[in-house]
C-alpha cells in the first residue's frame, strides 16, 4: 500500500466532525486533538516552523533549497468532516480491480453503490476503489487532501535533489460549516499564492465558485384553542408554507446544475406558536445572488404586512463570494496547475464549483487560492468513495506544481 493511502487510512480513523451549533472555535475538540497530531507528524517528516494554535490551525514550512528568489507557494486542506453524516467509526472497504458492477457496501442494510445511479464509477474500471461500509461517510473530503499534501512534503524532504522554493502548508478546521478561514492568518502564512487540495474527481481544477449566503427565518405564531381560534390563531407553520410557496419551485438543488443558482431549505421545525427554517442561498453571478437575497427580504416584508410586524424575522448573512474576481488578475496561478496536470498525464477538467472552499474566502483575504482535485466522489454521505490511483496522482501533481513555480520570477 502506498504511503498516501496508509496515511489516509490513519487519518479517517480519527473523528473530526464539525458542529455548526457549538459556537466554539474550533467547533469540536476532536479537531484540535487531530491538529496536534498533524503538527507532530509534520515535524517528524522534517518540516520547520511547525505551529498549531488554540483555534486548530496548523502551519508549517518546507524551506527553499535553491538560490534564486521565487514565489512562495502554499498548499491548504481542511481537517473536519461534514456534520451531514456520521464520521465516527469509519470502516473503509477496498474494491480491487473494480469490474464496473454494483458494489455492496452493507449487505445487511441493502446499501449498494450502483453505476446506474453513480455512473462516474465506470471511469475507474480496473482501479482500486475505497468505499464506506454504508454506515458513515468516508472522509475523503478532505482527509484525502491532507494525506496528499503531507505525502508530497515528505517526498520532497527525502529527495533534496528536487529543487524548489519555499513551500508553506496549512491545515484548517471547520471548513464544512463555513468557518475554515475565520481565523486564518494570511500574513503569517506568507505565501504568494496557494492551492486547496479539496476538489473532487481526478483532473478537477476550479477557480470559480458560488456566491453564498445563509438565511435563518423565524416565524412567530399565536396559539389559541382551535375551538375558539377564528380571527385569533396565527399558525406559524402555515405562514412558513406560504413563505416556501413564494420561492421559485424549480430553483432548488435537485433541479439545477452548472451555473444555475438555487435556494436550499436545509432544516425546518415548528409548532403553531413558532416555526424555524434554515436556508442556504447560492449563485455564481453576483447580481443574481443579490437578487436572490432581495427576494427573501421582499417575502419577509410581504408576510409582515399581511400578518403583522415581527411575525417573520430574517437573519441573513453572506458566507463567501465567487473567487473568480480575485483569480482573474493572476491567471498564471491556474495555468501552473493546469500544465502540472497535463505533465502528469491528467486531463484538466476546469469547472465552476457548485459549492465553496476555504480558497474562496482566502482569495478575498489576499491569498489567491484555486482548488485542485483530491480524488473523492459523493461527499457528505454513505456513498462516498475515492480511487487509490486518483490520490496517488494528486501527489504527483503537487510535486509538479512545486517544480513549475521555479519558472516564475518573484
Give the residue from 74, 46, 69, 76 showing the smallest Cα distance to 165: 69
Nearest to 196 by CA among 137, 146, 138: 146
Of these residues, 148, 175, 176, 206, which one is catalytic?
175
Of residues 347, 68, 26, 299, the one with CA closest to residue 173: 26
Separation in Å, CA 105 to CA 89, 199, 228, 307: 15, 24, 54, 50
In angstroms and rounded to an integer, the radius of gyration of the C-alpha atoms of the chain is 23
**392 belongs to the catalytic site:** no
Q: Cα–chain-centroid distance for residue 370?
A: 13
Please give the torsion angle defined by the CA atoms of residues 206, 207, 211 and 212, in that order, rounded to the nearest 10 degrees. 50
d(CA 220, CA 216): 13
Distance in angstroms (rounded) separating the CA atoms of residues 379 and 364: 25
Is the distance from CB of 58 to CB of 153 less than 8 angstroms? no
Annotate 201-251 with DSSP letters as a single string. STTEEE--B-EEEEEEEEEE-B---GGG-TTT-B-HHHHHHHHHHTS-TT-
Q: Which residues contact 321 (CB under 8 A, 6 or more apart)?
A: 211, 212, 286, 360, 364
Give the separation between CA 29 and CA 163, rounded to whole angstroms: 38
Catalytic residue among 80, 174, 179, 396: 80
Q: Specify whether the CB–CB gap between 234 and 312 falls below 8 A.
A: no
335 is an active site residue: no
Q: Which long-range contacts (CB under 8 A, 24 or more apart) does 351-355 make?
A: 351/204, 351/205, 351/206, 352/206, 352/208, 352/209, 352/258, 352/259, 352/284, 353/199, 353/206, 353/208, 353/209, 353/210, 354/210, 354/257, 354/258, 354/282, 355/209, 355/210
The residues annotated with a catalytic role in the active site are 80, 175
Amino acid at each position: 500500500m502506498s504511503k498516501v493511502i496508509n496515511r489516509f487510512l490513519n487519518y479517517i480513523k480519527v473523528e473530526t466532525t464539525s458542529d455548526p451549533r457549538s459556537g466554539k472555535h474550533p467547533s469540536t475538540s476532536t479537531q484540535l486533538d487531530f491538529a496536534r497530531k498533524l503538527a507532530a507528524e509534520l515535524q517528524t517528516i522534517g518540516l520547520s516552523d511547525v505551529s498549531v494554535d488554540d483555534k486548530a490551525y496548523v502551519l508549517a514550512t518546507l524551506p527553499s533549497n535553491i538560490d534564486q528568489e521565487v514565489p512562495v507557494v502554499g498548499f491548504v486542506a481542511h481537517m473536519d468532516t461534514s456534520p451531514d453524516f456520521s464520521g465516527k467509526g469509519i470502516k473503509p472497504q477496498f474494491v480491487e480491480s473494480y469490474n464496473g458492477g454494483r458494489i455492496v457496501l452493507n449487505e445487511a442494510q441493502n446499501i449498494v453503490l450502483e453505476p446506474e445511479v453513480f455512473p462516474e464509477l465506470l471511469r475507474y474500471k480496473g482501479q482500486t476503489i475505497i468505499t464506506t461500509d454504508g454506515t458513515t461517510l468516508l472522509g475523503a473530503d478532505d482527509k484525502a487532501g491532507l494525506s496528499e499534501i503531507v505525502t508530497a512534503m515528505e517526498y520532497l524532504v527525502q529527495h533534496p535533489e528536487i529543487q524548489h522554493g519555499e513551500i508553506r502548508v496549512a491545515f484548517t478546521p471547520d471548513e464544512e460549516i463555513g468557518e475554515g478561514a475565520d481565523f486564518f492568518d494570511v500574513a503569517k502564512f506568507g505565501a504568494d499564492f496557494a492551492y486547496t487540495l479539496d476538489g473532487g474527481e481526478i483532473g478537477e481544477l476550479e477557480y470559480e465558485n458560488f456566491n453564498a449566503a445563509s438565511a435563518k427565518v423565524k416565524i412567530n405564531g399565536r396559539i389559541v384553542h382551535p375551538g375558539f381560534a377564528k380571527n385569533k390563531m396565527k399558525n406559524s407553520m402555515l405562514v412558513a408554507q406560504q413563505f416556501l410557496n413564494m420561492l421559485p419551485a424549480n430553483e432548488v438543488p435537485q433541479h439545477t446544475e452548472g451555473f444555475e443558482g438555487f435556494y436550499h431549505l436545509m432544516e425546518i421545525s415548528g409548532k403553531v406558536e413558532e416555526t424555524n427554517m434554515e436556508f442556504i442561498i447560492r449563485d455564481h453571478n453576483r447580481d443574481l445572488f443579490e437578487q436572490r437575497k432581495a427576494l427573501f427580504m421582499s417575502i419577509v416584508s410581504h408576510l409582515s404586512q399581511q400578518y403583522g410586524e415581527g411575525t417573520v424575522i430574517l437573519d441573513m448573512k453572506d458566507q463567501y463570494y465567487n473567487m473568480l474576481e480575485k483569480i482573474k488578475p493572476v491567471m498564471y496561478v491556474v495555468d501552473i496547475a493546469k500544465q502540472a496536470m497535463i505533465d502528469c498525464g491528467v486531463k484538466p477538467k476546469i469547472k465552476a464549483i457548485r459549492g465553496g472552499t476555504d480558497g474562496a474566502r482566502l482569495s478575498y483575504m489576499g491569498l489567491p487560492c484555486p482548488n485542485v482535485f483530491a480524488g473523492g466522489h459523493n461527499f457528505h454521505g454513505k456513498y462516498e468513495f475515492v480511487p487509490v490511483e486518483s490520490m496517488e496522482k494528486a501527489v504527483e501533481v503537487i510535486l509538479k506544481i512545486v517544480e513549475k513555480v521555479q519558472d516564475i520570477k518573484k
